[in-house]
Amino acid sequence: MTAALALQDVACTFVSKDQPGQRYTAVQDVNLTVAAGEFVSVVGPTGCGKSTLLNVGAGLLVPSTGSVTVFGQPLAGINQRAGYMFQADSLMPWRTALANVSAGLQFHGVAERDAAVQANDWLRRVGLGGFGDRYPHQMSGGMRKRVSLAQTLVLDPDIILMDEPFSALDIQTRQLMENELLEIWAAKRKAVLFITHDLDEAIAMSDRVVVMSAGPGSRPIGDFTIDIERPRDVAEIKTSPRFLQLHQAIWEVLREEVLKGYQQQLKAA
């Protein structure tokens, strides 16, 4: 079957701003696929190139070498089949929650009234029915994340790219959002590429967890199938024997890379 998203032999090299002429290869030899309907997480030490890979999948960054295909077609320019939820809050402060969610539809030519109906529907689905007239500064961090989620999903993308979407949330809100995302995903079965540095979250959410090595020249060094049945409750499955087994096996691969990544950041500083 054709993958929803496939990165083949991808490398990304950046030119240093401070020392022109110096080059830094963030990732190399990356082969990564996400099947249609598959939920794949990527974990790895800070600075290893996770966001870089997501940018490549979104078409925001052209890799130095290698190729990207989207449902079998070579990717050129922005990935129109993908929705992107950024690491940082990306709501427009001058627009209400409703206007933030409907903006993307309107850019795509949907009439204002239809866009508002769909936006309202999605706000309801993420638990924010009745909050459509709030501005971002009138909402909590968790509510803003829900708006971002609605903003991404309202466009009904075939591929969902998420960069540590819940890492800034408190643990309870986070678990609520994770369960919500899993429910929505189960209903729609889109391809998801999910970046996180939280191994528990990666295992709880995913069909597959890919481990990246520390940079420079970071690459996938582990690929684990998460054979835990669905539907899952992200809080409950963390105590199941299979979860603990998988956690131990993946952590074995990840641990050393996290230490290496940390040492490298200290050196760079």
Ligand X SMILES: Nc1ncnc2c1ncn2[C@@H]1O[C@H](COP(=O)(O)OP(=O)(O)OP(=O)(O)O)[C@@H](O)[C@H]1O
Half-sphere exposure of 248 (CA within 13 A, CB side): 7
Instruction: Name the minimum Å distance from CB 239 to ligand X.
Output: 27
Task: Extract the tokens encoding 4.
Answer: 């929803």
Q: How far is CA 37 from the centre of its chain?
A: 15
The answer to whether residue 90 forms part of the interface with Mg ion (CB under 5 A) is no
**CB-nearer residue toward ligand X: 125 or 197:** 197
The answer to whether residue 167 forms part of the interface with Mg ion (CB under 5 A) is no
In this structure, are residues 200 and 235 in contact, taking their beta carbons and an 8 Å threshold?
no
Q: What is the DSSP string of 123-139?
A: HHHTT-TT-TT--GGGS
26 interface partner picked from Mg ion, ligand X, none, CB below 5 to 8 A per type: ligand X
Question: Tokens 């591929």, residue?
Answer: 159
49 interface partner picked from Mg ion, ligand X, none, CB below 5 to 8 A per type: ligand X
2 interface partner picked from Mg ion, ligand X, none, CB below 5 to 8 A per type: none
Task: Extract the tokens encoding 198.
Answer: 């939280």
Instruction: Name the minimum Å distance from CB 203 to ligand X.
Output: 18
State the DSSP H helix or E strand holding residue 263, giving kind and residue range, or none if neither. helix 241-268
Instruction: Name the minimum Å distance from CB 86 to ligand X.
Output: 11
Q: How far is CA 252 from the centre of its chain?
A: 23
The answer to whether residue 146 forms part of the interface with ligand X (CB under 6 A) is no
**CB-nearer residue toward ligand X: 62 or 92:** 62
Instruction: Name the minimum Å distance from CB 47 to Mg ion.
Output: 8
CA pseudo-torsion sign 88, 153, 134, 108: positive
Strands 23-35 and 159-163, by their bridges, are: unpaired
261 interface partner picked from Mg ion, ligand X, none, CB below 5 to 8 A per type: none
> What residues from 164 to 223 belong to the interface with ligand X (CB under 6 A)?
197, 215
Binding mask 33-62 for Mg ion (x = CB under 5 A): ------------------x-----------
> What residues from 22 to 81 belong to the interface with ligand X (CB under 6 A)?
24, 26, 44, 46-52
User: Hey, is 144 helix, strand or coil?
Assistant: helix
List the Cα angle 181/233/186 in 5-degree steps: 40
Give how many residues touch Mg ion by CB under 5 A: 1
Rounded-to-5 percentages of helix, strand, coil across the chain = 40, 25, 35
**CB-nearer residue toward Mg ion: 51 or 264:** 51
138 interface partner picked from ligand X, Mg ion, none, CB below 5 to 8 A per type: none
Query: Which positions lie near ligand X, rule CB under 6 A?
Result: 14, 24, 26, 44, 46-52, 197, 215
Query: Which positions lie near Mg ion, rule CB under 5 A?
Result: 51
